[in-house]
A and B are shown apart, each in its own frame.
Chain A
Amino acid sequence: MSNDTLSATAPAPQPAKPVKEKKPASLWSDAWYDLRRNPVFIIGGIMLGLLVIISAFPGLFDTVGVEPSTCSLAQARKGISAEHWFGTDNLGCDVYSRVIHGAKVSIIVGIVSAVVTGLVGGALGLLAGFFGRWVDVLLSRVAEIFFAIPSILGALLILAVIGRDNAGIASVVLALSLLAWPMILRIMRASVITAKHQDYVMAARALGAGPGRIMMRHILPNAVAPVIVVSTINLGAFIAAEAALSFLGVGIQSPQISWGLMIADARNRFLEAPLPLLFPALFLSLTILSVVMLGDAVRDALDPKLR
């Protein structure tokens, strides 16, 4: 690899592939240019934006006199009404206001965990796939060890480390990310291994491009798609999984609310009272949908073959 470190100071080589002549701008700024004009991106962005606004300012969406904490057991499992837009749950709490107020935790947990695992797993996968040899051996073997930790054990470990009283969103993110990054590493590594044998990478290498440049400019854009796809679905899975941690005392605790908790609480009596499960599940689906749309658009924008 010593040749490559030297070549980092060499003059920037011509891109190995015929790119649009427009300007010598990086692929990333090209991608941004494309994105802003892609309706899929715009719609997905608006949806996600709305969800973020809901989670940041839930108060804006409150109905009069109803709060997530207004619960009356006598009103349990009631259908849709003027007072309860989404019905009431098993404890007689208003499902609508809980969905609104539960957005914050769910969206933070989902997005942060997905981003953290995507970045960590992605970066390590890129290194493992690109450099191969001992780097790959080391990273892949460590990933295998982490793969093997049963999720409940991982969660309990975190709880033991941070203590029961400090449990909250951060511990949830930590627990979820700790166990999910190895999969991303595997996926990224696979894509990188495929990509690095492509002609244009060979060409770039032949032209003396440094490893950093090859990775960022040639390999990453071509290898990132599967990671984006898996991460978008991960995001949804994380939101749902967060609830399981609450039962161990790792997750967020009542009176805080999240969609995952709402779904988990409602599933026991799903057939008797479907609404308290369906509405948070619907919002969860919308969240995944919005990031899937964004993800698709980003992937298209990064794909030079589309130009």
Chain B
Amino acid sequence: MGRYVIRRLLQAIPVLLGTTFLIFAIVYALPGDPLQALAGEKRVDPVFAATLREQFHLNEPLIVRYGYYLRDIVSGNFGTTFRGLPVSTIFEGKFQVTFKLSITALIFEAIIGVGLGLWAALRRGRWEDKGILAITLLMVSVPTLVSGFVLQLVLGVKLKQSTGIDFFPVAGVQDGVRSYLLPGFVLAMVSIAYLTRLTRTSLMETLRADYVRTAVAKGMPRRRVLGRHALRNSLIPMVTYLGADLGTLMGGAVITETIFNLPGIGQQLFQSVYLRENPVVVGIVTVLVLIYILANLVVDLLYAVLDPRIRYE
């Protein structure tokens, strides 16, 4: 296993290089003067623009700019935004916000998604199953902005107005774990729908498998059959989804971060793409790729734990 892990980590190097260059090239190729975007609706001041162009090497060809970027990275400088905010500040501040948010979401996803899926599978075809299907449809078809805002209004504003107690903070990160509960749930909602359906399906498959039937026939208690045999063996697709979803949650939390005023990288990434701030976009995406790679690696290692027949190749 050690060798397998090392091999996978070595493979990460070309992936990282490939990604940074690819992202760099895409951002470079996008039309639109970044400095004009910086100026908003007025025409950008030519003096101001010229100075920044110089400072950020915006007039250089792609390969030269990428070279500057790599050179800076090697000397430990991750670059700054056009407005002078060091990318390292974004790393230390915003990443941890988004990371906490995504982990909270992942926990909700795992508990609620698997829970609902399990319930639906066991109650297959009955009203519980249908009710859960309706909930999942709702979660997919109502946009996050609406569900998030309604939850914020009801659980944040109204609850506080009527009780005077701040159960769920409306906005910000100043309340520790409590700050992340509501946004974490909102962020998790769409993924919960996926996981619920996935769990239901995979569990139903395993429930019909021979060894489960055998276990039941042997008179093994239902709970034990479920836990020891059925669930464990149906976990693989769910774990795969969860692992791959972590990165998606981290990079795609813009809307949730906005609704709950969490200063995270989702917003930063969005804004930096908008302004074509290459060092920032590449910096953030590189960290995201690393998270993908590690999460996928952990998931691949888990396969063998969940199903002893699977071996690392």
Instruction: Say whether A233 contacts B193, CB under 8 Å.
Output: yes
Binary per-residue interface labels of chain B (174-207) against chain A in the complex, 1 for a CB within 8 Å, 0 otherwise: 0000000000000000100110011001100100
Measured between alpha carbons, how far is A150 from B67 in the docked complex, in Å?
A: 23
- A105 surroundings in chain B (CB, below 8 A): none
* B292: A residues at CB distance < 8 A: 144, 147-148
- Interface flags for B278-307 (1: CB within 8 Å of A; 0: not) read 000100010011001100100100010001
Report Cα–Cα, A267/B143, bound state, in Å.
Answer: 8
Given known A-B contacts A157-B29, A225-B202, A270-B146, A147 and B289 have beta carbons under 8 A apart: yes
Chain A 136-179: CB-based contact to B (< 8 A → 1; otherwise 0): 11001100110111111100110010000000000000000000
Distance in angstroms between the alpha carbons of A144 and B239 in the assembled complex: 17
Complex Cα gap A148–B248 (Å): 8
Closest-CB distance, B38 to chain A (whole angstroms): 17
A264 to B15, CA, bound (A): 36
The contact of B19 among A145, A264, A277, A299, by CB within 8 Å, is A145
Q: Are B145 and A187 in contact (CB under 8 A)?
A: no
**Closest residue of chain B to A152, judged by CB?**
B273
Q: Please determine whether A233 and B194 come into contact, CB atoms closer than 8 angstroms.
A: yes
With A151-B252, A289-B133 in contact, do A299 and B201 touch (Cβ < 8 Å)? yes
| Cβ of A122 under 8 Å from chain B | no
The distance in angstroms between the C-alpha atoms of A141 and B289, with both chains bound, is 10
Query: Would A156 and B273 count as touching, CB distance under 8 A?
Result: yes
Q: Which segment, of B70-78, B88-96, B102-110, B134-142, faces chain A? A: B134-142
Query: Which residues, 195 to 221 on A, are CB-close (under 8 Å) to B?
Result: 197-198
Shortest CB distance A43–B (Å): 13
- Does any Cβ of A come within 8 Å of B63's Cβ? no
Task: For the complex, count residues of B whose C-beta is within 8 A of A.
Answer: 63
Please, which residue of chain B has its CB at the minimum distance from the CB of A283?
B141
A44 within 8 Å of B (CB atoms): no
**Contact mask A215-250 → B, CB, 8 Å, 1/0?**
000000000011001101100110010000000000
Are the CB atoms of B146 and A267 closer together than 8 Å? yes
List A residues 290-307 near B (Cβ within 8 Å). Answer: 292, 299, 303, 305-306
C-alpha gap A277/B281 in the complex (Å): 34
* B23 cross-chain contacts in A, Cβ below 8 A: 148-149, 153
Question: A137, A183, A237, A306: which contacts B208 (Cβ < 8 A)?
Answer: A306
Query: A16 at interface (Cβ–Cβ under 8 A)?
Result: no
Is A145 a contact partner of B142 (Cβ separation < 8 A)? no
Contact present for A285 and B201 (CB under 8 Å): no
- Contact partner of B141 (CB less than 8 A), chosen from A147, A150, A284, A305, is A284
The one of B205, B236, B288, B313 that contacts A190, using a Cβ cutoff of 8 Å: B236
Known: A191-B237, A236-B140. A141 touches B11 (CB 8 A): yes
How many residue pairs link A and B with beta carbons under 8 A? The number is 161
Q: Is the CB of A285 within 8 A of B137?
A: yes
Q: Given A152-B273, A187-B240, is A194 in contact with B307 using a C-beta cutoff of 8 Å?
A: yes
Minimum C-beta distance from B147 to chain A (A): 10
Contacts of A187 in B (CB 8 A): 237, 240-241, 244
Are A157 and B201 closer than 8 Å at their CB atoms? no
Which residues on the A side are within 8 Å of B241 (C-beta)? Answer: 183, 186-187, 230
Asked if A76 lies at the interface with its beta carbon under 8 angstroms from chain B, I say no
Residue of A nearest to B142 (CB): A281
Tell me, rounded to whole Å, the shortest Cβ–Cβ distance linking B208 to chain A.
5
Known contacts A232-B197, A270-B146: A292-B133 contact under CB 8 Å: yes
A229 and B197 contacting across the interface, CB-CB below 8 Å: yes
B42 contacts A by Cβ under 8 Å: no
Does B231 interact with chain A (Cβ within 8 Å)? Answer: no
Taking A152-B270, A305-B209 as contacts, is the C-beta distance between A197 and B26 under 8 angstroms?
no
B143 touches A240 (CB 8 A): yes
A288 on interface, CB distance cutoff 8 Å:
yes
Known contacts: A225-B201, A277-B146. The answer to whether A288 contacts B140 by CB under 8 A is yes
Residue pair A288, B141 in contact (C-beta under 8 Å)? yes
Cα A284 to Cα B288 with chains together (Å): 31
Contact across chains for A153 and B247 when beta carbons are under 8 A apart: no
Least CB distance from A160 to B in Å reads 5
Contact of B201 among A152, A226, A288 (CB under 8 A): A226
Contact residues in A for B22 (Cβ distance below 8 Å): 145, 149
B14 close to chain A: CB less than 8 A: yes
Which A residues lie within 8 Å of B288 (CB)? 148
A contact residues around B252 at 8 Å (CB):
150-151
Instruction: Flag whether A23 is at the interface (Cβ < 8 A).
Output: no
A49 to chain B, nearest CB (A): 19
15 contacts between A and B (CB under 8 A): A137-B11, A141-B11, A144-B15, A144-B19, A144-B296, A145-B15, A145-B289, A148-B247, A148-B292, A157-B29, A157-B30, A160-B31, A186-B240, A187-B241, A233-B193
Closest 6 CB pairs of A and B: A197-B309, A190-B240, A226-B237, A148-B289, A236-B140, A285-B137
Beyond the given pairs A288-B137, A303-B208, 11 more chain A to chain B contacts, judged by CB atoms under 8 angstroms and listed by A's residue number, are: A144-B289, A144-B292, A148-B23, A150-B251, A153-B27, A186-B296, A187-B237, A194-B303, A229-B198, A281-B141, A305-B208
